[in-house]
């Protein structure tokens, strides 16, 4: 008896089946990797949103009624909300307590502000409370791909106001701050922070 091998047709059928199985496995692996990358991007996005809201909450919980002088020497209220601010101006500026566990400048009252600049929510932190003529803040990019950043302020009468301070009212802090973030894709995140 002669040893018998595979025929050409059998080899071609086996190669075709192997090629089909390889193609299906490749498509499945590609789909799994794309899903994994999409989930990782979503996780980073929601982590950035959570960190941004935590920073806002920390600033609001430590707000103090301490007016400041701006770089032009004008007295500004402790909390200033300006809905008509230009792209290079802050929509929200506030005085807040420093870090209790720090010493020096980090423990003093600080001036923070927030602005929406070309789709990026930025936090501005000044090195001193009352600014010199050329004082420039440190800019921290908090959240990208933001379509809208709106703020409302709860007054003592329980009414929501679009700006703060109210005209003709003593410069006190509002009772609460409502933040509305509209992200790309139409996602809207709303949070209310109670001030001390």
Could you tell me the pLDDT band of residue 106, with boundaries at 50, 70 and 90?
low
What pLDDT shows up at residue 57? 95
106 or 38, which is more confident: 38
Instruction: Please indicate whether residue 100 or residue 11 has the higher confidence score (pLDDT).
Output: 11
- Predicted pLDDT of residue 149: 95
Q: What is the mean pLDDT of residues 90-115?
A: 81
Cα–Cα dist 2/24, whole Å: 38
Beta strand pairing call for 138-143 and 146-154: unpaired
Q: What's the rounded mean pLDDT across residues 132-156?
A: 92
The confidence score (pLDDT) of residue 3 equals 67
| Contact by Cβ (8 Å): 81, 151 | yes
Q: Which two structure tokens, joined as six digits, stand for 19?
A: 């090629």
Please give the structure tokens belonging to residue 121: 């929510």
Q: What is the pTM of this model?
A: 0.80
Residue 103 has pLDDT above 80, yes or no: no
In degrees, to the nearest 5, what angle opens at C-alpha 157 toward C-alphas 84 and 52?
A: 50
Contact 114, 56 (CB under 8 A): yes
Say which residues have a Cβ less than 8 Å from residue 180's Cβ, sequence separation at least 6: 148, 149, 150, 151, 152, 188, 189, 190
Task: Give the list of residues 6+ apart from residue 39 with CB closer than 8 angstroms, or none.
Answer: none
**Residues 55-73 pLDDT 10s:** 999 999 999 999 999 888 8
Which of 179, 113, 177, 189 minimizes the C-alpha distance to 145?
Answer: 189
pLDDT at 101 over 80: no
pLDDT at 43: 93
Share of the chain above pLDDT 70, in %: 93
Please provide the size of the chain in residues: 196
> In degrees rounded to 5, what are phi and psi of residue 191?
-135, 145
The domains of the chain, with CATH numbers, are 59-194 (3.10.610.10)
State mean pLDDT over 29-54: 92
What's the pLDDT band for 2 if we cut at 50, 70, 90? Answer: low
Is the CB of residue 182 less than 8 Å from the CB of residue 188? Answer: yes
Is the confidence at residue 1, as pLDDT, over 70?
no
Where is pLDDT greater, at 3 or 160?
Answer: 160
> Using CA atoms, how far apart are residues 131 and 119, in angstroms rounded to an integer?
27
In the block, which residue shows the tokens 């209790």?
Answer: 100
């Amino acid at each position: 008896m002669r040893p018998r091998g595979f025929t050409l047709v059998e080899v071609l059928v086996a190669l075709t089946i192997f090629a089909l199985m390889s193609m299906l496995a490749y498509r499945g692996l590609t789909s799994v990797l794309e899903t994994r990358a999409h989930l990782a991007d979503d996780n980073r996005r929601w982590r950035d949103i959570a960190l941004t809201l935590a920073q806002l909450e920390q600033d609001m919980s430590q707000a103090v009624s301490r007016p400041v002088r701006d770089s032009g020497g004008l007295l500004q209220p402790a909390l200033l909300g300006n809905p008509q601010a230009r792209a290079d101006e802050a929509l929200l500026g506030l005085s807040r307590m420093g870090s209790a566990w720090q010493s020096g400048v980090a423990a003093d009252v600080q001036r923070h502000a927030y602005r929406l600049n070309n789709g990026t929510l930025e936090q501005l932190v000044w090195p001193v409370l009352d600014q010199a003529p050329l004082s420039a803040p440190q800019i921290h990019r908090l959240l990208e791909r933001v379509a809208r950043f709106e703020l409302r302020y709860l007054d003592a009468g329980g009414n929501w106001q679009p700006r703060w301070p109210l005209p003709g009212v003593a410069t006190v802090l509002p009772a609460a701050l409502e933040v509305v973030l509209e992200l790309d894709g139409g996602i809207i995140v709303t949070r209310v922070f109670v001030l001390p």
